[in-house]
A and B are shown apart, each in its own frame.
Chain A
Amino acid sequence: MELKTLTFIVVGLSFALYIGIAIWARAGTTKEFYVAGGNVHPIINGMATGADWMSAASFISMAGLIAFLGYGGSVYLMGWTGGYVLLAVLLAPYLRKFGKFTVPQFIGDRYYSQTARIVAVICLIFISFTYVAGQMRGVGIVFSRFLEVDITTGLIIGMGLVFFYAVLGGMKGITYTQVAQYIVLIFAYTIPAVFISLQIAGNPLPQLGLGGHTGDVYFLDKLNQTVTDLGFAAYTSGNKSMIDVFCITLALMAGTAGLPHVIVRFFTVPTVHDARLSAGWALVFIAILYTTAPAVGAMARYNLHATVNTAVAAGGDVFAPESSIQGETRPEWMKRWEKTGLIKWEDKNGDGRIQYYNEKSKDPAFLAKAEAAGWKGNELGSDKKGKFDGTVDRDIMVLANPEIAGLPNWVIALIAAGGIAAALSTAAGLLLVISSSISHDLLKGVFAKDISEKGELMAGRVAAAVAVCVAGYLGYNPPGFVAQVVAFAFGLACASLFPTIVMGIFSKTMNRGGAIAGMLTGLIFTMTYIVYFKRDVLLGMDKVPDSQWLFGISPEGIGVIGMILNFVMAYIVMKMTPACPEHIQHLVEGIRYPRGAAAAQAQH
C-alpha cells in the first residue's frame, strides 16, 4: 500500500481511539475536571504522566540532539529523568496530602497570600504557554511532512482534537487518552529502534546494542572512529564545560519537578503511598523511551555517515573519491526529505559526489587531508530559508530514521502517529493546567469567590477552549523563537515554582514575604539573563558573546543560579518580615505525614 494512504489509516485509527475514550470519560464535576476524580490507579497515572511528560521534543528532537552532541546529549537524558527522583521525595507525596487542585492554590494557601497565588499563576501561565506553542507546532509539522497537508490544516485538526477531549473530559478525559497515546508513542519509538539495533549490533535490545559489537569491534568505538575520521569530535567525549553540563542537568531536573502539568498528575491518585509509587511508575514508562534514545541517536548518526560515505561501513579510505556516494544515486529518502528542507545537498566542489564532514575541524592535519582530496566544504546540511546551512536538521534523525534503515512503510506510518500522540498528550496536559489556574485560582480563588460548582466547571471549559485557540495561534504564528525558549520553561520552573514549593513543605517558618520575594527574584533574574543572552533571537539585536556568561553558565543552565538566589532572598526577607502564623505551621505539620489524605481531598 502507498505510504501516504497507510499513514492516513494509522493516524486516523489512533484519532478514532482518542475520540472514543474522550466520549467514555466525560467529566461531570469539578473534581473530575481538575483531578480526574482523584482515584486514578498509580500505574495508569504513571503511564499518563509518561505521555504528558514526553513531548514532541522528546519524541522527535531528542535522539537527533544526542546524535549530534554525543556525550553532550546526556544533559537531556539525566536532566529529564532525574527530576522524577526530586518529585518523588520532595514534592509529589506532600502535595497529594495537601489535597487541592492546583499548584498556585498550594502556594496561595501555604503562604496565606493571594499575591503569592497570583504570582504563581503568572509563572505557571508563562511556563505552560511557552511549552504548548512548541507542541502545536510539532503537530502541524508532523501533519505537513507525513500527510502532505499544509501546516495550518494540520494545526486545526490537532486543535480540534485536543479541544474535544480536554474541554469535554478535563483531567479525566486527558488521563485516559494519555494512556492510549503513551502506548501509541512507545511502540512507534521502540519498534524502529529494535530493528535498527538488530541490523547494526545484532541485538534486539537497543540498550544493549549500543554497547555491543558491530562486526568485530564495539559499536561505540566504530562510531568514534567514523566521526573523528571525518573531523568531528569523538562521540563519547563532550564539548561543553563541566560546570555548564552540571548546571544544565540540575536546571532540567529541578525544572521538571517544578513543571505544573507534571505536578498536578500526582493530585489524581487516591493516596500519598500511591503518589510515591506513581512517580516510580512514571519514570519506568519514561525510561523505556529515554534509555532507547541514546541508541537511536548514535545509530542514526552512524547510518547517516555510512550512507553518504561507503568507506565507513566497508573500511578503507574515507578520503578516496569513490568513497563519497554520487549525488545522482543518493537514496530515495534523502530526495523525499529534501522537499521539507530538513536535509540538503550542495555540490560545492562540483564533483557530483556528496562529501559530508566537519569543515570547521580544529585539526590542521585533518583539514589538509580534506583539501588534498579536493573537498571544498561540507556538502550535506539543511535548507534555511533557501540558503544552504551546514548542519543537517536534527529532527530528521527520528523522522527519517526508519527510511534510512530501510524499514517497511508501516513503521514509517507508526512514527507519524507516535509524533502526533506525543505532541497532543503534552499539549492537553498543559492546556488543562492553564485553564484550571484561570477558573480555579483566578476566578474561584480571587476574583469571583462565590461562583457555583457548575459555573466554575463552565469557566474551566471556556478557559480551556480559549487556551486551545491561543496555543493554535502561537503554533501557527510562532514568535520565531519557540525552539530557543524551551530553556525559559525549565529555567523559570527551576528558579520560581520549585524552590517555593520545596520551602513550603520543608520549612515551617518560611513566610509570605520571603516566598513572594524569592519567587520574584528567581523569576526576574532568570528571565533577564535568558533574554540578555538570547536577545539576538528574541529581540533581533546583536548577539552578546558567550564569553560573557556568568561563571561560564549558558542560558539553559542559569535557572540553577536563579534557584539559589530564590532560596537566599527568601531567607533574608523572612528574617525581616513578620513570622509565619501558628495555624500555617500546623498546616505544614499536617501535610508531612500520609494519614488522612483521602479525607483532605473530600473536604475540598
Chain B
Amino acid sequence: MPNPQGFDPKAYWSATLKLLVTTLIIWFIVSFGAGILFRDALDGIHLGGYPLGFWFAQQGSIFVFVGLIFWYAKRMDKIDREHDVHED
C-alpha cells in the first residue's frame, strides 16, 4: 500500500516514539521506581493508612496505568491528525 500523499513517515514516527518513551518512563517510575526500587524510602511517608511505597505497589501503579493508556491514546490521536493519517 503506498503511503498517503504528503505524509512524512520520519516526522510521524519520531513524534510517536517521543510519546512512547514518555509513556514508558511514567510506566517505569510508578511501578518499578515507586513500587520496588524506592519503596523503602517512600514507605516513610503515609497516605492514610498506606505506607506510600506499598500503596504504589498494590494500588497506585494500577490507577496510573489506566490513566496513562487513555492519555497515550488521546495524544496519539492528536499526532495522527497532525500528520493526517487518522482514520475516518
Binding site for B on A (CB under 8 A): 66, 71, 73-74, 77-78, 81-82, 84-86, 88-90, 93, 207-208, 210-213, 218-221, 236, 242, 245-246, 249-250, 271-273, 276-277, 279-280, 283-284, 287, 290-291, 294, 589-590, 592-600
Q: Is the CB of B35 within 8 A of A280?
A: no
Known: A276-B73, A277-B73, A291-B63. A236 touches B54 (CB 8 A): yes
- What residues of B have a CB within 8 angstroms of the CB of A287 in the complex? 62-63, 65-66
- What residues of A have a CB within 8 angstroms of the CB of B23 in the complex? 85, 89
Cα-based distance from A212 to B9 in the complex (angstroms):
51
Per-residue interface assignment for chain B, residues 29 to 62, with 1 indicating a CB less than 8 Å from any chain A CB and 0 otherwise:
0011001110100010001111100110111011
- What residues of A have a CB within 8 angstroms of the CB of B39 in the complex? 71
Binding site for A on B (CB under 8 A): 1, 3-4, 7, 9, 12-13, 16, 20, 23-24, 27, 31-32, 35-37, 39, 43, 47-51, 54-55, 57-59, 61-63, 65-66, 68-70, 72-73, 76-77, 80, 83, 85-87
Tell me what chain A mostly uses at the interface: helix, strand, loop, or mixed.
helix
Q: Is the CB of B20 within 8 A of A89?
A: yes
Q: Which residue of B has the minimal Cβ distance to A270?
A: B87
In the assembled complex, 26 residue pairs joining A and B whose CB atoms fall closer than 8 Å, in A order, are A71-B58, A74-B35, A77-B58, A77-B62, A81-B61, A85-B27, A85-B68, A85-B69, A89-B72, A93-B76, A208-B48, A210-B49, A210-B59, A211-B55, A218-B49, A220-B49, A246-B37, A249-B31, A276-B72, A280-B69, A283-B65, A287-B63, A291-B63, A592-B9, A592-B12, A593-B12
Q: Is the CB of B50 within 8 A of A211?
A: yes
Tell me what chain B mostly uses at the interface: helix, strand, loop, or mixed.
helix
Known: A78-B57, A212-B49. A246 touches B36 (CB 8 A): yes
- What residues of A have a CB within 8 angstroms of the CB of B55 in the complex? 211
Q: Is the CB of A211 within 8 A of B57?
A: no
Q: Which residue of B has the minimal Cβ distance to A74?
A: B57
- What residues of A have a CB within 8 angstroms of the CB of B50 in the complex? 210-211, 220
- What residues of A have a CB within 8 angstroms of the CB of B43 in the complex? 236
Q: Which residue of B has the minimal Cβ distance to A587?
A: B1
Q: How far is the CB of A584 from chain B (nearest CB, A)?
A: 14
- What residues of B have a CB within 8 angstroms of the CB of A66 in the complex? 58
